[in-house]
Structure 1
Amino acid sequence: MQWVNPDRTAVKKLTYKWPGDNNTFSFDLGGTFIGQGDDADKTREGENFFAEVKNYSSASDQSSMFTDFLAKCYVARKEDPKFTDVFLWITWSPFRVTKWNQLHSPEEIKKAILDKRNRLRSLNISDTQEAEKALSQEEEFLNSLSKDIWLLVLSKEQEDFLTISREEMGVIAQYRTGKEG
């Protein structure tokens, strides 16, 4: 199952309200994972994902967009923890490469929420010290969230040569239906 913005049905699932104002934000796409991979103990099958897609040929302004994305993940998970399982940042061009392995750490999520642009709209708190105090109570939540944010870097070659066609998806769907029935 997939949801792609701006499809009317998808918009309802992909749109959230900032707690600090009347504005909304939405993710580009979402859906439900199928298949369990090689390790049945680590399956994410049936879980929902929400994604931002940045098909850029260079880093562009992804750094600031990713900061906002982290704040959006925080707000969405707070609002709907049973529905927002995994968040994906899908890009064709890496950014902040010297900090790549830390981009979605609990500390970076906290910094993103405390960012001047995000603090009030994410927490509905304008004072920095008060916001820091509020977030200091959420260490477990931030640790959990950081594990559910994934960075995916794609390439044109992956699109051209490693993409599953509609026909192949149909075969997989038939197999899954037969397996479940």
Structure 2
Amino acid sequence: MPGEALHQLGDDGARRAKRWLESTTRVKAAWLNTDPYSAGRLEFPWSYGGWNFSYDIGGILHGGEFSGQMFLAECKKYSAAGDQGTHYQSYLAKCYVTLLHHARLADHFMWITWHPFLVGSWGKLCSVDKVREGVLSEASRVFNTESEDEAKALIDEDIAQEVANRLWLLVLSDKQEKLVITPEHRGILIKHEVEAGTW
């Protein structure tokens, strides 16, 4: 698939994931990195190398135990597993760096996809071991070293464990996107909460 088509598919996936998240009524505000007014909220610097990375979606959760907490999400609108495993490793390193330097913006990290990947290790994708692997895959950007042994010694185990605790792995499908509350009904719920002073 040509690069431009992939880019458009990625943008479409992020928009659809945002719409799905909002339809749960548990998201109070959500931003896309394609929105010029919101993109800056979703961009963070690597620890070393002078490069930045960004998340596709970010926002504030609403209601219950997550009320007022921030989330950052990466979306993959894939029709097959593809190269998600490689992207996911890098994503875990980004989550580590974000939590290390910007903890107040990183209550939850969500990976939203339309196709499972690494199914042989699916049950371990949110484990601290997988977080360590991800951090080591980007050792030069996280620790300014190419040495795996040196990087292993530099990993903050508390941060790695906390990243694992904050990970969400969500799998959507085209039909599932339609099996949610309608915008009209969502509007009624929000109106009720606004009037009650709880929104």
State TM-score, norm by structure 2. 0.81
| 1:99 and 2:121 are equivalent in the alignment | yes
Q: CA RMSD in A?
A: 1.3
Report if the CA contact (8 A) 1:70-1:104 is conserved: no
Report how far residue 140 of structure 1 moved.
1.9
Structure 1 residues not aligned, in runs of 5+ = 37-42
Runs of 4+ in 1 over 6 A off after TM superposition: none
Report how far residue 170 of structure 1 moved.
1.6
| 1:152 and 2:194 are equivalent in the alignment | no
Report how far residue 144 of structure 1 moved.
1.4
Q: 1: distance between equivalents of 2:34 and 2:49?
A: 22
- CA deviations over 1:75-123 (Å, ceiling 9, x no partner): 11112101111010001100011111111211111111112xx111122
Report if the CA contact (8 A) 2:100-2:159 is conserved: no
* Counterpart in the other structure of 2:190: 173
Could you say what secondary structure the match of 1:75 adopts? helix
Summarize the alignment of residues 76-155 of structure 1 with structure 2, pairs less than 5 Å apart: 76-115=98-137, 118-135=138-155, 138-155=156-173
Could you say what secondary structure the match of 1:46 adopts? coil
Q: 2: distance between equivalents of 1:83 and 1:27?
A: 12
Report how far residue 6 of structure 1 moved.
1.4
Could you say what secondary structure the match of 1:9 adopts? coil
Q: 2: distance between equivalents of 1:24 and 1:172?
A: 38
Report if the CA contact (8 A) 1:20-1:125 is conserved: no
Report if the CA contact (8 A) 1:51-1:87 is conserved: yes
* Counterpart in the other structure of 1:55: 77
Percent sequence identity over matched residues? 33
Report how far residue 10 of structure 1 moved.
1.5
Structure 2 residues not aligned, in runs of 5+ = 1-28
| 1:8 and 2:44 are equivalent in the alignment | no
* Counterpart in the other structure of 1:39: none
